[in-house]
Structure 1
């Protein structure tokens, strides 16, 4: 089950079964033709921030900001904790298998929260991996063009 928040105003609950029932065809990179209840829909993923689960999607010429909350996010929210509160992340791991397209930082570089660290291509999408906190890059464990497995160590913070 996922909770989808659109433009910080509208909330939808979507199950895996709901998403699998959509008749979807990828027509180009990040562009889709969807048929729902015999109605054609054109959709395009304009930007994707995989780490923060934030997406900008254009549907039939209207643009929407979409936040996706998975089961873990929902459980944290139910417990009354703020998602992402008081986190101290010391390393970045690959959220999924993919190809390192670009590395935007160097060892010893100081980064701020949400700075773009690297781009990971996975499932035909470019995912910008952003810094979860302010810190200094201790090490970079990958090189541009390298393929990585899920949970592979990418970057360590001091």
Structure 2
């Protein structure tokens, strides 16, 4: 399988980069953060100025020009489609079923204050129990399902205030 990465530069330019593209690039490490890159017979001197590996955000200097780079893979795109992406997840106001299944337990009540990563509910799908955690701190505004309900993918389960 040939993975494709979505690379955003300065939030203006977007590129699709494949593993094949990466293999065609000649990269030599000079130090931990500096590299010499040879691509299409053009030489580049690069330095990783700052990196946030978890958010996949980097500040990179290429030939004395600085760029803000974000990298996303296929899994990141799928997570974003489900409404659980990093960064924007802090703005989530609703929890939807990530897959069809049976709602085994609801561990919160309307009006309850929750913290990020608190368990909200347990969803059984394909004979596995999936604990759905709170993506942010907040107060439960409403609960749209009850224990024992069969839910469809994308069905609204919980809303935050």
TM range (shorter): 0.5 to 0.7
Aligned match for 2:21, one of 12, 18, 23: 18
Distance (Å, rounded) in 2 between the aligned partners of 1:73 and 1:15: 15
Following superposition of structure 1 onto structure 2, how do residues 1-158 of structure 1 map, counting pairs within 5 Å? Answer: 1-77=4-80, 79=81, 81=83, 83-84=85-86, 85=89, 86=92, 88-89=116-117
Question: What is the CA-CA distance between 1:58 and the residue it aligns to?
Answer: 0.2
Question: What is the CA-CA distance between 1:76 and the residue it aligns to?
Answer: 2.9
Question: What is the CA-CA distance between 1:2 and the residue it aligns to?
Answer: 0.6
Bigger relative contact order, structure 1 or 2 (CA pairs below 8 A, ≥6 apart): 1
The number of residue pairs the alignment matches comes to 92
Unaligned 5+ segments in structure 1 are 91-131, 135-158
Question: What is the CA-CA distance between 1:38 and the residue it aligns to?
Answer: 1.1
> What SS does the corresponding residue of 1:75 show, helix, strand or coil?
helix
TM-score, length basis structure 1: 0.52
Question: What is the CA-CA distance between 1:89 and the residue it aligns to?
Answer: 3.4
Question: What is the CA-CA distance between 1:75 and the residue it aligns to?
Answer: 1.7
TM-score, length basis structure 2: 0.51
Question: What is the CA-CA distance between 1:80 and the residue it aligns to?
Answer: 6.2
Question: What is the CA-CA distance between 1:133 and the residue it aligns to?
Answer: 6.4
Once the two structures are superposed, what CA deviation does each residue of 1:74-120 show, in whole Å capped at 9, x if it has no partner?
1233x363623249336xxxxxxxxxxxxxxxxxxxxxxxxxxxxxx
Unaligned 5+ segments in structure 2 are 93-114, 119-134, 138-161
Distance (Å, rounded) in 1 between the aligned partners of 2:20 and 2:116: 35
Question: What is the CA-CA distance between 1:19 and the residue it aligns to?
Answer: 0.9
> What SS does the corresponding residue of 2:71 show, helix, strand or coil?
strand
Bigger Rg over Cα: 2
What CA RMSD, in Å, does the superposition of the two structures yield over aligned residues? Answer: 2.3
Distance (Å, rounded) in 2 between the aligned partners of 1:133 and 1:76: 16
